[in-house]
Amino acid sequence: MSSQVEERTVEDSPPPSRGGDRAQYGVCVFLALLGTAVIVDALGIAHITSGTDPVGPRAVPLILGTLLVVLAVLYAVDVARGGRGEMEAGEDVDLSDGTDWRTVALLIAVFVANALLIERLGWVISGGLLFWGTAFALGNRHYIRNLLIAATLSLTTFYAFAIGLGVNLPAGVLQGIL
Amino acid sequence: MDNLNNLMQGFADVMAPLNLLLALVGVVIGTAVGVLPGIGPAMTVALLLPITYGMEPVQAFIMFAGIFYGGMYGGSTTSILLNTPGESSSVVTAIEGNKMAKAGRAAQALATAAIGSFVAGTIGTLLLVLITPFVVDFAVSLGSPDYFALMLLSFIAVTSVLGSSRIRGFISLLLGLTIGLVGIDTVSGQQRLTLGVPQLADGIDVVVVAVGIFAVGEALWVAAHLRRKPAEVIPVGRPWMGRQDWKRSWKPWLRGTAFGFPFGALPAGGAEIPTFLSYATEKRLTKHPEQFGKGAIEGVAGPEAANNASAAGTLVPMLAIGLPTNATAAVMLAAFQSYGIQPGPLLFEREASLVWVLIASLFIGNLLLLLLNLPLAPAWAKLLQIPRPYLYAGILFFATMGAYAVNAQPLDLFILLTLGLLGFAMRRFGLPVLPLIVGVILGPRAELQGRRSLQLSGGELSGLLGGPVSYTVYTVVAVVLLWPLIRRFVVRPLRARSAA
């Protein structure tokens, strides 16, 4: 969605590697598997047609599944010919280094923890942990300050949105206290 | 004159103190979130959509109009002060705008952007009022085959006309259509792709998809490549313009509006083409060609107006036909649907008061934006310096809150994460995001219209060819699809002959 306008000089961009972007074949495999899954799922649907619906529920998934498989092949051909998609740039994005998988893994862990805990602990606690954890994962080490920010943020959003505007957020263990 | 009365009634509704306050809140949050780096207008609207869930539709849409224009304006501030447009439509603004800011003319650049946006937004909304009834009259006469053809055109347009690689566009579109397939088939009641999970029977909420792909995907992508030293922000005082600046700005504003609105209203328009056209035009017409590339005010005034006018233009097909032409309109459409309201020609009959309140709020929001942004610009500039860990932690925090609030079920958070990872992969492999969102929203409706058309013909494929409208649309589709071949075998030989 974002794009960098600064004129990038040629030496900024990583040199195009010889074999092209091999990881793209992974996308082809994913698309082919997805297409197959869509077709298999469609074949499992009862084939119901009637006067008001001569097409039935199976036609569209069958078409989409087939198209997915066809596109997977076309994409593989494109990749083999050296086609590559441009990675998305942005103001805070530095593409010169590799992908920082550690940060991504930490973020996913924090995210999953929140999804598991949100109903039991409630939004105020689990949301606060989410903010604190993501800030930590992204490299911020002001533990106490972040705890205060996280608590303020989750309490404010709970009172403003859940109580003020009627948005669905669970109170969890703090039910009756908040 | 009926519409004028409706509009006046709309204004009367918005003017109630509480509603006016909501419009103000919408504009402020919309701008504040839109200013944040990495957050474009579409993500702004998607992230803020859930806070309106507890409200009545009228109130929600008043706030939404503010968020819509606020998010748009916020993006231009970012591109001027940081040289980092939040959306491709602000790319052109950044070219001259950032140069102006670096030359110490940030105040003037922000002022011409703000006032130009106001002028373009007001004219654009006025055109919306004048034109939409005609489009509605036209749309009422359309049958299922015509709608099916129009949606097909939308699909082809977002994949083939916008973006650089067709195959990547089509992949994104198909992923979106597949996501849209999940749930109970509305016609036959059969479950499709639900994997036996009862919560999936209602399908995956479009808001969850938009927030997952835009917000979570973006946060994960940036986190994996975080620039450790944030970009430099240019300090700014209160925006103002001198006499000379006014003289050089007003014509570009009007020309930009003239470019922006029609393109926004077209099924494949968007804001990129008109902003580039406006920039090129101003560069040719300017009396100060030496300043272009070094910070010419015309290069900010024109494209910025084009951008806002095109945003108003996108509302014409969105409201009258139910076709979203850009990401922001797609999310707005999702907002309508979350209230059980289906945009399209009947909207103006069934929900007339709601539509006119929305349009009146667009006028009011636009005015509030101007009044707020001139004095508040220095404060917005400070937002750009927010430490990045807090920024992206905040995005994930609000994304989670919003996605949970849709149905109040933790499963949605896992779906959100999956979609976020999909968004991450799409950014990694350069797959465009817009076709996916359009596919999710329009896919189920296209299937419905297609099946209705075939019902009328008893299953014969000829049922898809309705009348003159669908013939025309299919011709356009064919031209767009075959364009590379046409260019090679028709246009080039012709050119070669005329050159000879």
Query: What domain range is B378 assigned to?
Result: 2-466
Residues B66 and B166 in one domain: yes
Task: Write the secondary structure of B48-86 as one string of H (helix), E (strand) and C (coil).
Answer: HHHHHCCCCHHHHHHHHHHHHHHHHHHHHHHHHHHCCCC
Residues B328 and B359 in one domain: yes
Chain B residue closest in CA terms to A53: B455
Residues A105 and A54 in one domain: no
Using a CB-CB distance cutoff of 8 angstroms, which residues of chain B are in contact with residue A119? 410
Return the structure tokens found at B2: 């009926």
Return the structure tokens found at A172: 């969890």
Which residues 218-277 of B have a C-beta within 8 angstroms of A?
218-228, 230-231
Residues A75 and A115 in one domain: no
Residues A70 and A112 in one domain: no
φ and ψ at B331, to 5 degrees?
Answer: -70, -35
pLDDT in tens, A89-99: 776 788 887 88
Residues B423 and B499 in one domain: no
Instruction: Verify whether the Cβ–Cβ distance B83 to A5 is below 8 Å.
Output: yes
pLDDT of residue A10: 38
Number of neighbouring beta carbons within 10 Å of residue B408: 13
**In this model, does residue B1 exceed pLDDT 60?**
no
Mean pLDDT, chain B, as a whole number? 86
pLDDT of residue A20: 66
pLDDT in tens, A133-178: 999 999 889 999 999 999 999 999 898 888 877 788 888 888 877 7
pLDDT in tens, B214-225: 889 989 998 998
Q: Is A126 on the interface with B (CB under 8 A)?
A: no
* Residue A47 located in a structural domain: yes
pLDDT in tens, A44-97: 888 777 777 888 898 999 999 999 999 999 999 999 988 888 888 776 788 887
Residues A169 and A120 in one domain: yes
Instruction: Verify whether the Cβ–Cβ distance B53 to A165 is below 8 Å.
Output: yes
Q: What is the ipTM of this complex?
A: 0.87
Q: Is B328 on the interface with A (CB under 8 A)?
A: no
Q: Is A116 on the interface with B (CB under 8 A)?
A: yes
Element at B183 (helix H, strand E): strand B183-184
Of the partner residues B218, B223, B430, the one whose CB lies closest to the CB of residue A103: B223
Quote the CA–CA distance of A159 and B270 in Å, as a whole number: 38
* Residue A127 located in a structural domain: yes
pLDDT of residue B230: 62
Instruction: Verify whether the Cβ–Cβ distance B400 to A127 is below 8 Å.
Output: yes
**In this model, does residue B424 exceed pLDDT 90?**
yes
Q: Is A1 on the interface with B (CB under 8 A)?
A: yes
Residues A111 and A75 in one domain: no
* Residue A96 located in a structural domain: no
pLDDT band at B426 (very low <50, low <70, confident <90, very high): very high
* Residue A2 located in a structural domain: no
Residues B449 and B487 in one domain: no
pLDDT in tens, B267-293: 766 777 888 889 889 988 888 888 888
Instruction: Verify whether the Cβ–Cβ distance A167 to B95 is below 8 Å.
Output: no
* Residue A50 located in a structural domain: yes
Number of domains in chain B: 2
* A&B contacts, CB < 8 Å: 258
Number of domains in chain A: 2
pLDDT in tens, B243-266: 888 899 999 999 999 999 998 888
Residues B443 and B421 in one domain: yes
- Contact between B117 and B130 under an 8 Å Cβ cutoff? The reply is no
Using a CB-CB distance cutoff of 8 angstroms, which residues of chain B are in contact with residue A104? 220, 223-224, 424
Q: Is A152 on the interface with B (CB under 8 A)?
A: no
Residues A70 and A105 in one domain: no
Query: What domain range is A146 assigned to?
Result: 101-174
Torsion sign over Cα B452, B456, B459, B461:
negative
* Residue A93 located in a structural domain: no
Specify the higher pLDDT residue, B484 or A36. A36
Which residues 73-112 of A have a C-beta within 8 angstroms of B?
74-75, 78, 83-88, 90-95, 97, 99-101, 103-104, 107-108, 111-112
Of the partner residues A61, A74, A93, the one whose CB lies closest to the CB of residue B227: A93
Alpha-carbon distance values, B212 to A50, A137, B228 (Å) = 37, 19, 25
pLDDT of residue A174: 84
**In this model, does residue B188 exceed pLDDT 90?**
no
Residues A75 and A113 in one domain: no
Residues B277 and B359 in one domain: yes
Residues B244 and B340 in one domain: yes
Per DSSP, helices labelled H in B266-351 are: 272-285, 298-320, 327-338, 347-350
Task: Write the secondary structure of A90-157 as one string of H (helix), E (strand) and C (coil).
Answer: CCCECCCCCCCHHHHHHHHHHHHHHHHHHHHHCHHHHHHHHHHHHHHHCCCCCHHHHHHHHHHHHHHH
Residues B100 and B153 in one domain: yes
- Burial class, B456, CB count within 10 angstroms (exposed 0-12 / middle 13-18 / buried 19+): middle
pLDDT of residue B85: 59
Q: Is B59 on the interface with A (CB under 8 A)?
A: no
Instruction: Verify whether the Cβ–Cβ distance A118 to B404 is below 8 Å.
Output: yes
Residues B369 and B488 in one domain: no
